[in-house]
Chain A
Amino acid sequence: MLLELVIFYVAAVFAIGAALLMILQRNPVASVLYLIVSLLAQATLYIQLSAMFVGAILVIVYAGAILVLFLFVIMLLNLRGEQFEEKRPRLGRATKMVISLALLVELLMIVKQTAFPERMDRLMVEATPDFGSVKPVAELLYTQYLYPFELTSILLLVAIVGAVIMAKRGRTDHDEEDK
Protein backbone atom coordinates (compact mmCIF):
# COMPACT_ATOMS: atom_id res chain seq x y z
CA MET A 1 0.00 0.00 0.00
CA LEU A 2 1.31 3.41 -0.98
CA LEU A 3 0.52 5.15 2.29
CA GLU A 4 2.35 2.55 4.34
CA LEU A 5 5.35 2.93 2.08
CA VAL A 6 5.26 6.68 2.63
CA ILE A 7 5.09 6.20 6.39
CA PHE A 8 7.96 3.75 6.23
CA TYR A 9 10.21 6.15 4.35
CA VAL A 10 9.30 9.12 6.52
CA ALA A 11 9.96 7.10 9.68
CA ALA A 12 13.20 5.73 8.27
CA VAL A 13 14.46 9.18 7.31
CA PHE A 14 13.53 10.50 10.74
CA ALA A 15 15.24 7.58 12.48
CA ILE A 16 18.51 7.95 10.61
CA GLY A 17 18.46 11.73 10.31
CA ALA A 18 17.75 12.24 14.00
CA ALA A 19 20.46 9.74 14.90
CA LEU A 20 22.97 11.67 12.79
CA LEU A 21 21.91 15.00 14.26
CA MET A 22 22.25 13.48 17.70
CA ILE A 23 25.89 12.68 17.08
CA LEU A 24 26.67 15.99 15.43
CA GLN A 25 25.14 18.15 18.15
CA ARG A 26 27.26 20.14 20.56
CA ASN A 27 24.45 20.73 23.01
CA PRO A 28 23.90 17.50 24.98
CA VAL A 29 20.25 18.22 25.78
CA ALA A 30 19.51 18.66 22.08
CA SER A 31 21.33 15.35 21.51
CA VAL A 32 18.98 13.60 23.88
CA LEU A 33 15.98 15.17 22.16
CA TYR A 34 17.16 13.94 18.77
CA LEU A 35 17.67 10.49 20.23
CA ILE A 36 14.06 10.53 21.44
CA VAL A 37 12.87 11.48 17.97
CA SER A 38 14.97 8.69 16.51
CA LEU A 39 13.54 6.17 18.98
CA LEU A 40 9.97 7.22 18.25
CA ALA A 41 10.61 6.78 14.54
CA GLN A 42 12.10 3.35 15.22
CA ALA A 43 9.02 2.45 17.26
CA THR A 44 6.92 3.37 14.24
CA LEU A 45 9.02 1.03 12.11
CA TYR A 46 8.59 -1.81 14.59
CA ILE A 47 4.84 -1.30 14.62
CA GLN A 48 4.82 -1.42 10.84
CA LEU A 49 6.51 -4.80 11.12
CA SER A 50 3.60 -5.73 13.43
CA ALA A 51 5.99 -6.01 16.34
CA MET A 52 3.66 -3.94 18.52
CA PHE A 53 5.11 -5.08 21.80
CA VAL A 54 8.67 -4.24 20.84
CA GLY A 55 7.53 -0.83 19.63
CA ALA A 56 5.74 -0.16 22.91
CA ILE A 57 8.76 -1.28 24.95
CA LEU A 58 11.01 0.96 22.92
CA VAL A 59 8.90 3.95 23.83
CA ILE A 60 8.28 3.04 27.47
CA VAL A 61 11.73 1.83 28.48
CA TYR A 62 14.08 3.68 26.18
CA ALA A 63 12.29 6.93 25.42
CA GLY A 64 10.36 7.06 28.69
CA ALA A 65 12.92 5.85 31.20
CA ILE A 66 16.50 5.56 30.05
CA LEU A 67 16.57 8.91 28.30
CA VAL A 68 15.04 10.59 31.33
CA LEU A 69 18.04 9.21 33.19
CA PHE A 70 20.33 10.65 30.49
CA LEU A 71 18.69 14.05 30.83
CA PHE A 72 19.12 13.89 34.58
CA VAL A 73 22.81 13.11 34.22
CA ILE A 74 23.29 15.97 31.79
CA MET A 75 21.46 18.34 34.07
CA LEU A 76 23.29 17.04 37.10
CA LEU A 77 26.69 17.56 35.52
CA ASN A 78 25.40 20.86 34.19
CA LEU A 79 26.61 20.26 30.64
CA ARG A 80 25.52 23.02 28.35
CA GLY A 81 27.60 22.57 25.24
CA GLU A 82 30.32 25.16 25.69
CA GLN A 83 32.62 23.23 27.98
CA PHE A 84 33.41 20.44 25.59
CA GLU A 85 36.06 22.03 23.46
CA GLU A 86 38.43 22.76 26.29
CA LYS A 87 38.80 19.15 27.33
CA ARG A 88 41.62 17.29 25.65
CA PRO A 89 40.67 13.97 24.16
CA ARG A 90 41.86 11.06 26.23
CA LEU A 91 42.33 8.70 23.31
CA GLY A 92 44.63 9.27 20.40
CA ARG A 93 43.40 9.50 16.83
CA ALA A 94 44.79 6.07 15.94
CA THR A 95 43.04 4.34 18.84
CA LYS A 96 39.77 5.93 17.85
CA MET A 97 40.20 4.74 14.28
CA VAL A 98 40.89 1.18 15.40
CA ILE A 99 37.85 1.12 17.66
CA SER A 100 35.59 2.57 14.95
CA LEU A 101 36.92 0.06 12.44
CA ALA A 102 36.30 -2.83 14.83
CA LEU A 103 32.74 -1.63 15.39
CA LEU A 104 32.21 -1.30 11.65
CA VAL A 105 33.41 -4.85 11.03
CA GLU A 106 31.15 -6.11 13.77
CA LEU A 107 28.22 -4.25 12.25
CA LEU A 108 28.91 -5.69 8.81
CA MET A 109 29.07 -9.18 10.25
CA ILE A 110 25.67 -8.69 11.87
CA VAL A 111 24.25 -7.38 8.61
CA LYS A 112 25.65 -10.42 6.85
CA GLN A 113 23.90 -12.77 9.25
CA THR A 114 20.58 -10.97 9.03
CA ALA A 115 17.79 -12.77 7.24
CA PHE A 116 17.06 -10.51 4.32
CA PRO A 117 14.13 -11.38 2.08
CA GLU A 118 16.16 -13.32 -0.50
CA ARG A 119 17.37 -15.68 2.18
CA MET A 120 14.11 -15.66 4.11
CA ASP A 121 12.87 -18.97 2.73
CA ARG A 122 15.11 -21.09 4.91
CA LEU A 123 14.57 -18.96 8.01
CA MET A 124 10.89 -18.21 7.59
CA VAL A 125 8.65 -19.20 10.47
CA GLU A 126 4.90 -19.62 10.24
CA ALA A 127 3.69 -16.16 11.23
CA THR A 128 0.16 -15.43 12.35
CA PRO A 129 -1.11 -11.88 11.82
CA ASP A 130 -0.70 -11.04 15.51
CA PHE A 131 2.63 -12.76 16.09
CA GLY A 132 4.26 -9.56 17.30
CA SER A 133 1.53 -8.61 19.70
CA VAL A 134 1.72 -9.05 23.43
CA LYS A 135 0.10 -12.44 23.95
CA PRO A 136 2.17 -14.47 21.46
CA VAL A 137 5.35 -12.83 22.76
CA ALA A 138 4.37 -13.76 26.30
CA GLU A 139 3.65 -17.35 25.35
CA LEU A 140 7.15 -17.69 23.98
CA LEU A 141 8.90 -15.66 26.63
CA TYR A 142 7.49 -17.51 29.60
CA THR A 143 7.88 -21.01 28.21
CA GLN A 144 10.65 -21.39 25.67
CA TYR A 145 12.83 -18.47 26.77
CA LEU A 146 12.23 -18.89 30.45
CA TYR A 147 15.87 -19.19 31.43
CA PRO A 148 17.03 -15.88 29.88
CA PHE A 149 13.99 -14.23 31.40
CA GLU A 150 14.89 -15.38 34.90
CA LEU A 151 18.48 -14.35 34.32
CA THR A 152 17.19 -10.87 33.55
CA SER A 153 16.06 -10.57 37.14
CA ILE A 154 19.59 -11.31 38.31
CA LEU A 155 20.91 -8.71 35.88
CA LEU A 156 18.48 -6.15 37.25
CA LEU A 157 19.48 -7.09 40.79
CA VAL A 158 23.10 -6.42 39.91
CA ALA A 159 22.03 -3.06 38.53
CA ILE A 160 20.33 -2.24 41.83
CA VAL A 161 23.47 -3.14 43.74
CA GLY A 162 25.44 -0.88 41.39
CA ALA A 163 23.02 1.95 41.99
CA VAL A 164 23.31 1.49 45.75
CA ILE A 165 27.10 1.62 45.62
CA MET A 166 27.02 4.75 43.47
CA ALA A 167 24.54 6.38 45.81
CA LYS A 168 26.80 5.63 48.77
CA ARG A 169 29.86 7.06 47.12
CA GLY A 170 28.01 10.08 45.76
CA ARG A 171 26.57 10.85 49.15
CA THR A 172 29.90 11.11 50.97
CA ASP A 173 31.29 13.32 48.21
CA HIS A 174 28.30 15.52 48.41
CA ASP A 175 28.39 15.85 52.19
CA GLU A 176 31.96 17.03 52.00
CA GLU A 177 31.04 19.60 49.41
CA ASP A 178 28.22 20.88 51.56
CA LYS A 179 30.23 21.34 54.71
Chain B
Amino acid sequence: MSYTEIMLISSIKVIVVVLAVLTGCAYSTWLERKLVGHFQHRIGPNVAGPFGLLQPIADAIKLVFKEDIVPNNVERITYALAPIVVFIPALLSFAVVPFGDKVTMFGYQIDMVISDLDIGVLFVFAVTSLGVYGIVLAGWSSGSKYSLLGGVRSSAQMISYEVAYGLSIIGVLVIAGTLSMKELVAQQSSFFDWFIFRQPVGFVLYVICAIAETNRAPFDLPEAESELVAGYHTEYSSMRFAMFFIGEYANMLAVSCVATTIFLGGWQGPLLPPIIWFAIKVALFMSFYIWLRATLPRLRYDQLMNFGWKVLFPLALLNVMVTALIYRL
Protein backbone atom coordinates (compact mmCIF):
# COMPACT_ATOMS: atom_id res chain seq x y z
CA MET B 1 0.00 0.00 0.00
CA SER B 2 1.29 3.42 -0.85
CA TYR B 3 1.46 6.30 1.56
CA THR B 4 -1.46 8.15 0.02
CA GLU B 5 -3.60 5.06 0.18
CA ILE B 6 -2.85 4.57 3.86
CA MET B 7 -3.74 8.17 4.56
CA LEU B 8 -6.94 7.89 2.57
CA ILE B 9 -8.02 4.71 4.32
CA SER B 10 -7.21 6.22 7.71
CA SER B 11 -9.27 9.30 6.93
CA ILE B 12 -12.26 7.21 5.86
CA LYS B 13 -11.98 5.10 8.99
CA VAL B 14 -11.79 8.24 11.14
CA ILE B 15 -14.91 9.73 9.58
CA VAL B 16 -16.85 6.47 9.89
CA VAL B 17 -15.86 6.11 13.55
CA VAL B 18 -16.70 9.73 14.38
CA LEU B 19 -20.13 9.36 12.80
CA ALA B 20 -20.66 6.04 14.57
CA VAL B 21 -19.69 7.55 17.91
CA LEU B 22 -22.08 10.47 17.43
CA THR B 23 -24.92 8.12 16.48
CA GLY B 24 -24.00 5.92 19.42
CA CYS B 25 -24.15 8.90 21.78
CA ALA B 26 -27.52 9.99 20.41
CA TYR B 27 -29.01 6.54 20.80
CA SER B 28 -27.46 6.08 24.23
CA THR B 29 -29.62 8.96 25.40
CA TRP B 30 -32.62 7.24 23.84
CA LEU B 31 -31.67 3.95 25.50
CA GLU B 32 -31.22 5.68 28.84
CA ARG B 33 -34.57 7.44 28.74
CA LYS B 34 -36.35 4.34 27.53
CA LEU B 35 -34.76 2.03 30.12
CA VAL B 36 -35.12 4.42 33.04
CA GLY B 37 -38.72 4.92 31.98
CA HIS B 38 -39.40 1.22 32.17
CA PHE B 39 -37.53 0.89 35.46
CA GLN B 40 -39.92 3.47 36.85
CA HIS B 41 -43.05 1.94 35.27
CA ARG B 42 -43.28 4.65 32.66
CA ILE B 43 -43.07 4.27 28.91
CA GLY B 44 -40.30 6.74 28.13
CA PRO B 45 -40.09 8.62 24.83
CA ASN B 46 -42.72 7.25 22.43
CA VAL B 47 -44.02 10.15 20.39
CA ALA B 48 -41.28 10.93 17.86
CA GLY B 49 -41.17 7.95 15.53
CA PRO B 50 -41.76 4.28 16.37
CA PHE B 51 -40.69 3.57 20.00
CA GLY B 52 -39.57 7.20 20.14
CA LEU B 53 -36.61 6.32 17.95
CA LEU B 54 -36.49 9.77 16.38
CA GLN B 55 -36.32 11.45 19.81
CA PRO B 56 -32.50 11.99 19.75
CA ILE B 57 -32.79 13.74 16.39
CA ALA B 58 -35.58 15.96 17.70
CA ASP B 59 -33.43 16.80 20.73
CA ALA B 60 -30.45 17.65 18.56
CA ILE B 61 -32.53 19.97 16.36
CA LYS B 62 -33.98 21.65 19.41
CA LEU B 63 -30.52 22.27 20.90
CA VAL B 64 -29.19 23.77 17.67
CA PHE B 65 -32.05 26.27 17.63
CA LYS B 66 -31.62 27.32 21.26
CA GLU B 67 -30.24 30.71 22.15
CA ASP B 68 -26.68 30.67 23.47
CA ILE B 69 -26.75 32.63 26.70
CA VAL B 70 -23.31 33.68 27.87
CA PRO B 71 -23.30 35.27 31.33
CA ASN B 72 -21.49 38.59 31.39
CA ASN B 73 -18.85 37.74 34.00
CA VAL B 74 -17.40 34.59 32.46
CA GLU B 75 -13.72 34.26 31.55
CA ARG B 76 -14.44 34.32 27.82
CA ILE B 77 -11.66 32.27 26.30
CA THR B 78 -11.64 29.44 28.79
CA TYR B 79 -15.43 29.45 28.81
CA ALA B 80 -15.48 28.88 25.06
CA LEU B 81 -12.68 26.34 25.21
CA ALA B 82 -14.09 24.10 27.93
CA PRO B 83 -16.80 22.28 25.91
CA ILE B 84 -14.22 21.40 23.24
CA VAL B 85 -11.74 20.19 25.84
CA VAL B 86 -14.45 17.95 27.32
CA PHE B 87 -15.43 16.44 24.00
CA ILE B 88 -12.07 15.81 22.30
CA PRO B 89 -10.46 13.47 24.87
CA ALA B 90 -13.73 11.54 25.05
CA LEU B 91 -13.56 11.08 21.31
CA LEU B 92 -9.87 10.25 21.11
CA SER B 93 -10.19 7.06 23.19
CA PHE B 94 -11.97 5.42 20.27
CA ALA B 95 -8.84 5.69 18.15
CA VAL B 96 -7.27 2.57 19.62
CA VAL B 97 -10.36 0.40 20.03
CA PRO B 98 -10.49 -2.53 17.59
CA PHE B 99 -14.06 -2.90 16.35
CA GLY B 100 -13.48 -6.12 14.44
CA ASP B 101 -11.05 -8.40 12.69
CA LYS B 102 -9.16 -7.62 9.50
CA VAL B 103 -11.51 -7.49 6.54
CA THR B 104 -10.86 -7.32 2.81
CA MET B 105 -12.68 -4.46 1.13
CA PHE B 106 -12.17 -3.22 -2.44
CA GLY B 107 -9.02 -5.31 -2.61
CA TYR B 108 -7.48 -3.78 0.49
CA GLN B 109 -6.73 -5.48 3.78
CA ILE B 110 -8.39 -3.18 6.27
CA ASP B 111 -7.91 -3.33 10.01
CA MET B 112 -11.05 -2.45 11.91
CA VAL B 113 -9.11 -0.11 14.16
CA ILE B 114 -8.03 3.45 13.49
CA SER B 115 -4.65 3.07 15.07
CA ASP B 116 -3.14 -0.08 16.51
CA LEU B 117 -0.66 1.57 18.87
CA ASP B 118 1.72 -0.68 20.75
CA ILE B 119 1.03 1.51 23.78
CA GLY B 120 -2.75 1.36 23.28
CA VAL B 121 -3.74 0.94 26.93
CA LEU B 122 -1.40 3.74 28.00
CA PHE B 123 -2.91 5.93 25.30
CA VAL B 124 -6.39 5.38 26.73
CA PHE B 125 -5.06 6.16 30.20
CA ALA B 126 -3.35 9.33 28.95
CA VAL B 127 -6.45 10.57 27.16
CA THR B 128 -8.61 9.86 30.20
CA SER B 129 -6.24 11.85 32.38
CA LEU B 130 -6.79 14.89 30.14
CA GLY B 131 -10.57 14.65 30.48
CA VAL B 132 -10.46 16.43 33.82
CA TYR B 133 -9.46 19.76 32.26
CA GLY B 134 -12.71 20.45 30.48
CA ILE B 135 -14.55 20.14 33.74
CA VAL B 136 -12.14 22.25 35.81
CA LEU B 137 -12.11 24.96 33.16
CA ALA B 138 -15.87 24.97 32.73
CA GLY B 139 -16.35 25.25 36.46
CA TRP B 140 -13.76 27.94 36.91
CA SER B 141 -14.58 30.13 33.92
CA SER B 142 -18.35 30.23 34.32
CA GLY B 143 -18.19 32.73 37.16
CA SER B 144 -20.92 30.95 39.05
CA LYS B 145 -20.65 29.46 42.52
CA TYR B 146 -22.45 26.30 41.53
CA SER B 147 -20.16 25.79 38.56
CA LEU B 148 -17.02 26.36 40.58
CA LEU B 149 -18.05 23.96 43.31
CA GLY B 150 -19.22 21.38 40.80
CA GLY B 151 -16.03 21.67 38.78
CA VAL B 152 -13.73 21.40 41.78
CA ARG B 153 -15.64 18.52 43.29
CA SER B 154 -15.74 16.72 40.01
CA SER B 155 -12.06 17.12 39.29
CA ALA B 156 -11.08 16.00 42.80
CA GLN B 157 -13.30 12.97 42.33
CA MET B 158 -11.80 12.17 38.96
CA ILE B 159 -8.23 12.36 40.12
CA SER B 160 -9.03 10.31 43.21
CA TYR B 161 -10.34 7.45 41.11
CA GLU B 162 -7.82 7.80 38.32
CA VAL B 163 -5.01 6.02 40.12
CA ALA B 164 -7.18 3.02 40.96
CA TYR B 165 -8.49 3.15 37.38
CA GLY B 166 -4.98 2.75 36.03
CA LEU B 167 -4.07 0.08 38.57
CA SER B 168 -7.16 -2.00 37.81
CA ILE B 169 -5.80 -2.75 34.33
CA ILE B 170 -2.30 -3.65 35.55
CA GLY B 171 -3.41 -7.15 36.52
CA VAL B 172 -4.47 -7.81 32.94
CA LEU B 173 -1.17 -6.45 31.66
CA VAL B 174 0.77 -8.76 33.97
CA ILE B 175 -1.00 -11.75 32.42
CA ALA B 176 -1.04 -10.50 28.85
CA GLY B 177 2.38 -8.84 28.68
CA THR B 178 1.26 -6.32 26.08
CA LEU B 179 -0.30 -2.86 25.84
CA SER B 180 -1.69 -3.30 22.34
CA MET B 181 -5.49 -3.52 22.29
CA LYS B 182 -5.39 -5.84 19.29
CA GLU B 183 -3.06 -8.22 21.10
CA LEU B 184 -5.30 -8.15 24.15
CA VAL B 185 -8.28 -9.20 22.04
CA ALA B 186 -6.23 -11.93 20.41
CA GLN B 187 -5.38 -13.37 23.82
CA GLN B 188 -9.05 -13.84 24.67
CA SER B 189 -9.92 -16.17 21.81
CA SER B 190 -11.94 -18.69 23.80
CA PHE B 191 -14.75 -17.77 26.17
CA PHE B 192 -12.95 -18.77 29.36
CA ASP B 193 -9.88 -16.83 28.33
CA TRP B 194 -11.77 -13.56 28.72
CA PHE B 195 -9.94 -11.42 31.20
CA ILE B 196 -13.11 -10.93 33.20
CA PHE B 197 -12.66 -14.55 34.37
CA ARG B 198 -8.93 -14.30 34.89
CA GLN B 199 -9.12 -10.88 36.54
CA PRO B 200 -12.54 -10.69 38.24
CA VAL B 201 -11.37 -8.25 40.93
CA GLY B 202 -9.66 -6.12 38.31
CA PHE B 203 -12.88 -5.99 36.30
CA VAL B 204 -15.00 -4.91 39.26
CA LEU B 205 -12.43 -2.25 40.15
CA TYR B 206 -12.33 -1.07 36.55
CA VAL B 207 -16.10 -0.73 36.37
CA ILE B 208 -16.38 1.18 39.64
CA CYS B 209 -13.55 3.55 38.78
CA ALA B 210 -14.83 4.05 35.26
CA ILE B 211 -18.24 5.07 36.57
CA ALA B 212 -16.60 7.55 38.91
CA GLU B 213 -14.36 8.84 36.09
CA THR B 214 -17.34 9.47 33.85
CA ASN B 215 -19.27 11.18 36.68
CA ARG B 216 -22.22 8.85 36.48
CA ALA B 217 -24.62 7.67 39.16
CA PRO B 218 -23.99 6.73 41.94
CA PHE B 219 -20.90 8.93 41.65
CA ASP B 220 -22.62 11.85 39.90
CA LEU B 221 -21.95 14.34 42.69
CA PRO B 222 -20.61 17.09 40.45
CA GLU B 223 -24.03 17.36 38.87
CA ALA B 224 -25.97 16.71 42.05
CA GLU B 225 -29.01 18.64 40.88
CA SER B 226 -30.53 18.87 44.33
CA GLU B 227 -27.63 20.95 45.63
CA LEU B 228 -25.50 22.21 42.75
CA VAL B 229 -28.13 22.88 40.05
CA ALA B 230 -26.20 21.37 37.13
CA GLY B 231 -22.67 21.50 38.52
CA TYR B 232 -19.95 22.62 36.17
CA HIS B 233 -22.25 23.19 33.19
CA THR B 234 -24.82 25.32 35.00
CA GLU B 235 -24.03 28.37 32.90
CA TYR B 236 -23.85 26.63 29.54
CA SER B 237 -26.67 26.57 27.05
CA SER B 238 -27.39 25.67 23.45
CA MET B 239 -24.66 23.83 21.50
CA ARG B 240 -22.09 24.40 24.21
CA PHE B 241 -24.27 22.54 26.66
CA ALA B 242 -24.83 19.89 24.01
CA MET B 243 -21.05 19.37 23.82
CA PHE B 244 -20.92 18.55 27.52
CA PHE B 245 -23.86 16.26 27.08
CA ILE B 246 -22.37 14.45 24.10
CA GLY B 247 -19.02 14.38 25.87
CA GLU B 248 -20.51 12.56 28.83
CA TYR B 249 -22.12 9.93 26.64
CA ALA B 250 -19.02 9.63 24.47
CA ASN B 251 -17.04 8.99 27.65
CA MET B 252 -19.47 6.30 28.72
CA LEU B 253 -19.31 4.71 25.30
CA ALA B 254 -15.51 4.88 25.34
CA VAL B 255 -15.39 3.19 28.73
CA SER B 256 -17.79 0.51 27.48
CA CYS B 257 -15.67 -0.05 24.37
CA VAL B 258 -12.45 -0.28 26.38
CA ALA B 259 -14.05 -2.60 28.94
CA THR B 260 -15.34 -4.78 26.12
CA THR B 261 -11.92 -4.91 24.51
CA ILE B 262 -9.88 -5.51 27.64
CA PHE B 263 -12.17 -7.71 29.71
CA LEU B 264 -14.98 -9.07 27.57
CA GLY B 265 -13.16 -10.60 24.62
CA GLY B 266 -13.51 -7.61 22.29
CA TRP B 267 -15.22 -8.33 19.01
CA GLN B 268 -14.92 -12.08 19.31
CA GLY B 269 -17.98 -14.32 19.40
CA PRO B 270 -19.58 -17.20 17.50
CA LEU B 271 -21.78 -17.05 14.39
CA LEU B 272 -22.51 -13.32 14.17
CA PRO B 273 -20.03 -10.97 12.47
CA PRO B 274 -17.44 -9.38 14.80
CA ILE B 275 -18.81 -5.85 14.60
CA ILE B 276 -22.24 -7.06 15.73
CA TRP B 277 -20.75 -8.88 18.71
CA PHE B 278 -18.85 -5.77 19.62
CA ALA B 279 -22.01 -3.67 19.43
CA ILE B 280 -23.95 -6.18 21.54
CA LYS B 281 -21.33 -6.21 24.28
CA VAL B 282 -21.05 -2.42 24.32
CA ALA B 283 -24.84 -2.06 24.43
CA LEU B 284 -25.04 -4.48 27.34
CA PHE B 285 -22.38 -2.56 29.22
CA MET B 286 -24.22 0.70 28.57
CA SER B 287 -27.44 -0.85 29.83
CA PHE B 288 -25.61 -1.83 32.98
CA TYR B 289 -24.54 1.78 33.41
CA ILE B 290 -28.13 2.92 33.08
CA TRP B 291 -29.40 0.17 35.33
CA LEU B 292 -27.04 1.39 38.05
CA ARG B 293 -28.32 4.92 37.62
CA ALA B 294 -31.90 3.77 38.02
CA THR B 295 -31.13 1.65 41.07
CA LEU B 296 -28.52 3.26 43.28
CA PRO B 297 -28.82 6.46 45.32
CA ARG B 298 -26.08 9.06 45.14
CA LEU B 299 -23.13 8.78 47.53
CA ARG B 300 -22.13 11.47 49.95
CA TYR B 301 -18.94 13.29 49.01
CA ASP B 302 -16.92 12.15 52.02
CA GLN B 303 -18.07 8.57 51.44
CA LEU B 304 -16.97 8.87 47.85
CA MET B 305 -13.50 10.16 48.64
CA ASN B 306 -12.99 7.66 51.45
CA PHE B 307 -14.12 4.81 49.24
CA GLY B 308 -11.72 5.82 46.49
CA TRP B 309 -8.63 6.22 48.64
CA LYS B 310 -9.18 3.77 51.47
CA VAL B 311 -10.89 0.89 49.69
CA LEU B 312 -10.38 0.96 45.93
CA PHE B 313 -6.77 2.09 45.83
CA PRO B 314 -5.33 -0.43 48.36
CA LEU B 315 -7.51 -3.14 46.85
CA ALA B 316 -6.18 -2.36 43.37
CA LEU B 317 -2.59 -2.56 44.63
CA LEU B 318 -3.35 -5.83 46.38
CA ASN B 319 -4.89 -7.19 43.20
CA VAL B 320 -1.73 -6.33 41.28
CA MET B 321 0.50 -8.06 43.83
CA VAL B 322 -1.66 -11.18 44.12
CA THR B 323 -1.92 -11.48 40.34
CA ALA B 324 1.83 -11.12 39.97
CA LEU B 325 2.45 -13.74 42.67
CA ILE B 326 0.02 -16.23 41.14
CA TYR B 327 1.48 -15.86 37.67
CA ARG B 328 5.02 -16.16 38.95
CA LEU B 329 4.56 -19.24 41.10
Contacts and interface: CB of A to CB of B under 8 A. Distances in A.
25 contacts: A27-B75, A29-B137, A30-B77, A33-B78, A56-B119, A56-B122, A56-B123, A59-B129, A59-B130, A60-B122, A60-B129, A63-B129, A63-B130, A64-B129, A64-B130, A64-B132, A64-B162, A68-B155, A71-B133, A71-B140, A72-B152, A75-B140, A75-B148, A134-B119, A134-B122
Contacts of A130: 118
Nearest to A130: B118
A64 B166 CA distance: 13
Contact of A56 (B77, B126, B162): B126
A149 B131 CA distance: 29
Contacts of A75: 136, 140, 148, 152
User: Chain B binding site: helix, strand, loop or mixed by DSSP?
Assistant: helix
Interface string B48-60: 0000000000000
A101 B72 CA distance: 44
Given A29-B141, A36-B133, A56-B125, 17 more contacts: A1-B3, A3-B3, A27-B75, A29-B78, A30-B78, A33-B137, A52-B118, A53-B122, A56-B123, A59-B129, A59-B130, A60-B125, A64-B130, A68-B136, A72-B155, A80-B75, A134-B122
B226 to A, nearest CB: 24
Contacts of B123: 56
B187 to A, nearest CB: 16
Nearest to A75: B140
Contact of B159 (A1, A3, A68): A68
Interface string B105-138: 0000000000001110011011001101100110
A130 B180 CA distance: 13
B179 interface: yes
B313 to A, nearest CB: 13
A60 B165 CA distance: 13
A157 to B, nearest CB: 15
Interface string B238-280: 0000000000000000000000000000000000000000000
A1 B3 CA distance: 10
A106 to B, nearest CB: 31
Interface in B121-178: 122-123, 125-126, 129-130, 132-133, 136-137, 140-141, 148, 152, 155, 159, 162
Interface of A: 1, 3, 27, 29-30, 33, 36, 52-53, 56, 59-60, 63-65, 68, 71-72, 75, 80, 130, 133-134
B8 to A, nearest CB: 13
B129 A133 contact: no
Contact of B179 (A30, A36, A134): A134
A142 to B, nearest CB: 13
A65 B126 contact: no
Contacts of B159: 65, 68
A52 B132 CA distance: 23
B129 A65 contact: yes
A130 to B, nearest CB: 7
A71 B141 CA distance: 12
A60 B129 CA distance: 6
Contact of B126 (A1, A27, A33, A64): A64
Nearest to B125: A60
B115 to A, nearest CB: 12
Contacts of A134: 118-119, 122, 179
Contact of A29 (B117, B125, B129, B140): B140
Contacts of A1: 3
Nearest to A71: B136
A59 B126 contact: yes
Contacts of A65: 129, 159
A133 B132 contact: no
B119 A133 contact: yes
A42 to B, nearest CB: 13
Interface in B62-86: 75, 77-78, 81
Contacts of A71: 133, 136, 140
Nearest to B127: A59
Contacts of A64: 126, 129-130, 132, 162
A103 B179 CA distance: 39
B118 A133 contact: yes
Contacts of B130: 59, 63-64
Contacts of A80: 75
Given A56-B123, A59-B130, A60-B125, A29 B118 contact: no
A18 to B, nearest CB: 14
A30 B126 CA distance: 22
